[in-house]
């Protein structure tokens, strides 16, 4: 009910039965043979309380709207790397460094830079990877999308540091993930092949076409 219309003048124009109906709306129990003026007084008080409650609620909403959200920190001061599959073909890899460790590398005159090494295994318990490839990164990079061309394999990523005349240093490795199996090879002929209804429903043909258009060099 619109409490702005509940005025003494308006209530005076109503019948006693109508006043009792409004009292029922506000949850006010009206005894029989109660004086009309008393009923009107109770209704005005109830309408006033409801209007104050609505104003308080609006103030809370307005206050919530202007609450400032603090920006996420640029670093969590942790040397860590993680992989997430964005779709059946691409993965998203992101990493970070402990601040002191990172600064120490940059000050080392023999330090050459960082890179991400991907390792692919036939089985999740294999010690030796079946294949590897390296993704160069800059000192400021913290994330990268990477094309995965080994469907059905297990994969992990390692964040490594390179030094002059030294073996590369593995700083941290990601958890092992399983790449989706049953994906077609990436080639210029792939985008014209007929796929099963399930793969078509998954949107894979559209992904492959987009991949071919934007990253044709990754196709054999």
Is 163 a residue whose pLDDT tops 60? yes
Question: Which tokens is 98 given?
Answer: 């402990």
CA distance 9 to 14: 9
Q: Give the relative orientation of helices 16-26 and 36-65 as an angle to the nearest 10 degrees.
A: 30
Provide the pLDDT for residue 198: 80
> What is the model's pTM?
0.59
| Predicted local distance difference test score (pLDDT) of residue 101 | 95
192 DSSP assignment: G
Structure tokens at 65: 């709207």
pLDDT for 188 equals 64
Q: Return mean pLDDT, the chain.
A: 81
Using the predicted structure, report yes or no on whether residue 105 has a pLDDT greater than 70: yes
- Name the strands in the sheet holding 143-147, side by side, starting at the edge strand that comes first in the sequence: 80-85, 90-96, 143-147
Instruction: Look at residue 104 in the predicted model and tell me its pLDDT.
Output: 96
Q: What is the pLDDT of residue 135?
A: 92
Residue pLDDT, tens place only, 167-191? 999 999 999 999 887 666 666 666 6
**What pLDDT score was predicted for residue 136?**
92
Percent of all residues in the chain with a pLDDT value above 90, rounded to a whole number: 37
> Which carries the bigger pLDDT value, residue 143 or residue 71?
143
Over the stretch 106-153, which tens digit does the pLDDT of each residue have?
Answer: 999 999 999 999 999 999 899 899 999 999 999 999 999 988 878 889
Q: What is the pLDDT of residues 38-69, one digit of tens each?
A: 777 777 887 777 766 665 555 555 555 555 66
For residue 85, what are its two tokens? 């599959």
Residue 85: partners with Cβ closer than 8 Å, 6 or more residues away: 91, 92, 148, 177, 179, 180
Q: What is the pLDDT of residue 215?
A: 61
CA 77/CA 23 separation, integer angstroms: 62
User: How large is the average pLDDT for residues 84-102?
Assistant: 91
């Amino acid at each position: 009910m619109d409490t702005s219309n509940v005025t003494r003048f308006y209530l005076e124009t109503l019948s006693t039965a109508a006043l009792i109906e409004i009292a029922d709306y506000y949850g006010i129990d009206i005894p029989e043979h109660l004086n009309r003026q008393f009923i009107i007084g109770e209704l005005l008080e109830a309408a006033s309380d409801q209007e104050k409650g609505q104003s308080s609620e609006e103030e809370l909403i307005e206050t919530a709207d202007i609450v400032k959200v603090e920006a996420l920190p640029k670093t969590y001061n942790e040397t860590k790397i993680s992989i997430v599959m964005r779709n059946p073909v691409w993965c998203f890899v992101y990493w970070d460094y402990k601040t002191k460790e990172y600064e120490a590398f940059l000050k080392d005159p023999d330090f050459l830079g960082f890179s991400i090494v991907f390792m692919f295994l036939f089985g999740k318990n294999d010690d030796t990877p079946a294949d590897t490839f390296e993704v160069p990164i800059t000192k400021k990079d913290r994330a990268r999308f990477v094309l995965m061309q080994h469907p059905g394999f297990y994969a992990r990523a390692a964040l490594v540091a390179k030094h002059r005349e030294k073996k590369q240093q593995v700083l941290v490795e990601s958890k092992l993930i399983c790449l989706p199996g049953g994906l077609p090879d990436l080639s210029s002929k792939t985008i014209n092949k007929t796929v099963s209804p399930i793969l078509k429903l998954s949107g894979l043909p559209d992904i492959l076409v987009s991949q071919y258009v934007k990253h044709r060099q990754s196709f054999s």
